[in-house]
Chains A and B, each alone.
Chain A
Amino acid sequence: MNGNILKKLREPELIRRLCDRLSKLDVPEKVKIMEVCGTHTMAIHRMGLPPLLPPHIRLLSGPGCPVCVTPGSYLDTAFEMAGEYGITLVTFGDMMRVPGSKDTLSLLRSRGYAVEVVYSPMAALELALENPGRDFVFLAVGFETTAPAVAATVIAARRKNAGNFSILCSHKLVIPALEVLVDDPEAAVDGFMLPGHVSAVLGSEPYRFIPDKYSRACVITGFEPYDIVHGIFMLLAQIESGEFSVEIQYSRGVRPQGNERARECMFEVFTPVDTVWRGFGTIPGSGLAVADDFAGFDAGVRYPVKTEPFPEPEGCRCGEVLRGIIEPPDCPLFEAVCAPGNPVGPCMVSSEGTCAAFYRYSRSFDTR
């Protein structure tokens, strides 16, 4: 019975009518909306939304792809560990082709290094439990949607005495990045489409500074096409009225108080630290590191290596794409050199990268 509502929401006729209404909206002044979630980036382009938008609305992508904002040196560190200590690297799929300074995980695997792809951090722990003779390092990348799951896995690892399991932690927090974005005059936006699943964890409270201090619109939005169109309607309504708040469009999945258990789990295993975001430099308090209590599961502590500074590929403008300052076609490498078959920077490699989304779905349109 319950599934019927979700089916009805997905009816093609409904989204058709919604898109039709959206495309006919009269938007009197230019409006810039930024989404900060790789899943939104992909969903927006995959549904073919940009050419449907009425004139004056621009949708920008921000640093919402955790793979894209992970510094290249992280991969180099993982490669050094594999080389020096003979550990097995376990990773989410979309890290496999991200270029380090010389290699990718995919190339490493083809040369005989032990690299495993998993969908869940629990699967990485299971590999370790099933293979006690080998050491496993899980590449823990992702925002607050993923960090609680990795934390729960580390807690389970301790409970099961998985001494051959650890994580190389590069988790990042969305709010400190939003604080930088909303303060940046170059990326000036009128409203933010906020990430649905991160917000299922965080709730709506932590975003309050955006409308309260900076007078920008905020709508926590889901990922179905109808959610995204609904979110845009709600953002436009706030902008038109001049009354800003953090609204929850994705109310079926997000409670204002968020998921306290997931947050507790996350902060039992991790502590906030200053960390580097590709394209932004260091953002204070924006990363997670393994807490002292769990140091035995911190690969950085167990397998120290020396990593050289990472040289950004020449001509790569991923940093500016991530800050919403340029769009992929503005990068001279886009299409001509950098494409999914031969990615130069992470925005093209990641399954949720802005350039990958543009290349796959929006190249034939001039969306500007």
Chain B
Amino acid sequence: MKITELVPPDMAVVEADGISMEISLALVEDVSVGDYVIVHTGFALEALDIGEAEKTLEMLRDISKSDE
């Protein structure tokens, strides 16, 4: 989910697919507005690495194309 607002000291508003909710950032560090995070039971668990997401997309495109 995407962080749209920080709510000090340790909360944030996140949004995905039109749903918006307030979650705790107690378990993560150094996240900012615009970052994507994994959310579980109302807590951010980890920030998503968009660079890695791009690599995954590359790998999947390769797999889906290759002919044997």
Co-complex (A, B): yes
Q: Which residues of A contact B (CB under 8 A)?
A: 2-3, 5-6, 8-9, 14, 17-18, 20-21, 92, 119-123, 142, 145-146, 148-149, 152, 155-156, 197, 200-201, 226, 230, 233, 249, 251-255, 259, 261-262, 265
Give the interface SS of chain A, mostly helix, strand, loop or mixed: helix
Is the beta-carbon distance between A254 and B46 smaller than 8 angstroms? yes
User: B7 in the interface, Cβ–Cβ < 8 Å?
Assistant: no
Number of A-B contacts (CB under 8 A): 109
Which chain B residues border A155 with CB–CB below 8 Å?
Answer: 26
Is the beta-carbon distance between A261 and B27 smaller than 8 angstroms? yes
Is the beta-carbon distance between B42 and A149 smaller than 8 angstroms? yes
Chain B: minimal CB distance from A52 (Å): 14
The 8 Å CB contact of B63, one of A8, A121, A156, A230, is A230
Instruction: Give complex CA distance A3, B50 in Å.
Output: 9
Which chain B residues border A18 with CB–CB below 8 Å?
Answer: 60, 63-64
* 8 nearest A-B pairs in the assembled complex, by CB-CB distance: A120-B42, A17-B64, A251-B52, A252-B52, A252-B53, A149-B43, A152-B26, A200-B46
Instruction: Give complex CA distance A122, B53 in Å.
Output: 30
Instruction: Give complex CA distance A14, B36 in Å.
Output: 22
User: B56 in the interface, Cβ–Cβ < 8 Å?
Assistant: yes
Chain A to chain B contacts (Cβ below 8 Å), 29 pairs: A5-B57, A8-B57, A9-B57, A14-B60, A14-B64, A18-B64, A120-B23, A120-B24, A121-B41, A122-B42, A123-B42, A142-B41, A146-B41, A148-B43, A149-B41, A152-B26, A152-B27, A200-B45, A200-B46, A201-B46, A226-B56, A230-B59, A251-B55, A251-B56, A259-B28, A259-B45, A261-B28, A262-B28, A262-B45
Is the beta-carbon distance between B54 and A265 smaller than 8 angstroms? no
Chain B: minimal CB distance from A59 (Å): 18
The 8 Å CB contact of A252, one of B28, B42, B43, B50, is B50
17 further contact pairs, Cβ within 8 A, besides A120-B24, A152-B27? A2-B36, A5-B57, A9-B56, A14-B64, A18-B64, A20-B64, A120-B43, A122-B42, A149-B24, A149-B41, A149-B42, A156-B26, A197-B45, A252-B53, A255-B49, A259-B28, A259-B46
Given contacts A17-B64, A122-B24, A261-B29, contact A197 B38 (CB under 8 A): yes
Which chain A residues border B2 with CB–CB below 8 Å?
Answer: 3
Using C-beta atoms within 8 Å of the partner chain, give the interface range for chain B: 20 to 34
Is the beta-carbon distance between A253 and B38 smaller than 8 angstroms? yes
Q: Closest B-chain residue to A196, C-beta based?
A: B38
Given contacts A261-B29, A262-B27, contact A146 B40 (CB under 8 A): yes
Given contacts A9-B53, A251-B56, A259-B28, contact A149 B63 (CB under 8 A): no
